[in-house]
Each structure stands twice: as structure tokens, then as C-alpha cells.
Amino acid sequence: MPRGAPRCPRCKSTLPWVVDADADTFAAETTASVPVVVDFWAAWCGPCRMISPVLEDLAKHHAGHLKVVKVDVDANPALTARFGARSIPLLVVIRNGQEVDRIVGALPRTALEQRLAPALAA
């Protein structure tokens, strides 16, 4: 099991790994031994609100093997600019510290799973 993956204190089962990050915590949150999906989002963005439960469900389905890091673009403009996020939702897939995919827009769950499959299989 990856170091830092959350576990239920009672039953010790692996929990979905979904965290919020800002400029101060981003590097630590995206350094993981599992694929990391960075979700650049905003509260006013309808498609962002649509994809959020899908990402949380994928984190639950792949508990311990996928980490979702959420970055609020309004609260983190420098981090948003660093990744060139001009449209949201923007999902940046990171594996072993390297960006391996970039997904713009809200995809249906099946399409999102297909895009994440190579990172999860590596």
C-alpha cells in the first residue's frame, strides 16, 4: 500500500485518496508512488461540479492506487498559471513526478477511465 494512503481507523481498509492542495502543499501532495490526478476547478464552473463526483468515485474504486488532488483556480492563480490552465475543468495526470496526460473538459466516466488506464497500469 502506498505510503500516506488514508485508512479507516476502525477496519483499516483503504479509503479514497482525495485532497485539496494550494501552492504551499502542491509539491508534497503530488509526490506519490501512485498516479495523481490534479483537478483544476472552480466553484462557479458547472462542468467542474459535474466531474467532481466522478473523480471521487474513481478514487474510491481505485482506493490506494489513485490519488486525486483538487486545486481551486480562484484561490491559487500562480499554480493555475504554472500549469497553463486556461479552461476548466483541467485534469493533469502525474505519474512518478512527470505529467503523462492532460484532459480538458468534463468527460463521461467511461472515457475518463480509458484515459486514466495507461497511468494506472504503469
Number of domains in the chain: 1
Residues 6+ apart with CB under 8 A from 32: 2, 4, 67
* 43 is a domain residue: yes
Q: Any catalytic annotation for residue 48? A: yes
Asked if the structure places residue 49 within a domain, the reply is yes
Whether the pLDDT of residue 91 is over 50: the answer is yes
Structural domain for 67, as ranges: 17-121
> Model pTM?
0.87
- The verdict on residue 10 lying in a domain is no
Does residue 79 belong to any structural domain of this protein? yes
- List the CATH number of the domain containing 36: 3.40.30.10
Between 12 and 118, where is the model more confident?
118
Q: What is the pLDDT of residue 8?
A: 57
pLDDT, one tens digit per residue, over 8-66 is 567 665 555 688 899 999 998 888 788 999 999 999 999 999 999 999 999 888 888 89
The two beta strands, 98-104 and 36-41, are unpaired
pLDDT value at residue 80: 96
Average pLDDT over residues 75-99: 95
Which of the residues 18, 34, 38, 45 is marked catalytic? 45
Catalytic residue among 48, 55, 58, 66: 48
Confidence at residue 1, expressed as pLDDT on a 0 to 100 scale: 46
Does 1 map to a domain?
Answer: no
Say if residue 6's pLDDT is above 80. no
Q: What pLDDT digit, counting tens, does each position of 96-116 carry? A: 889 999 999 999 999 999 999
pLDDT score of 14:
56
Residue 15 Cα distances to 2, 62, 85, 89, 122, angstroms: 12, 9, 29, 24, 21
In a domain? residue 11: no
What single string gives the DSSP state of each residue in 2-69?
Answer: -TT--B-TTT-PBPPEEEE--TTTHHHHH--SS-EEEEEE-TT-HHHHHHHHHHHHHHHHTTTT-EEE
Identify whether 11 is a catalytic site residue.
no
Q: Is residue 38 part of a domain?
A: yes
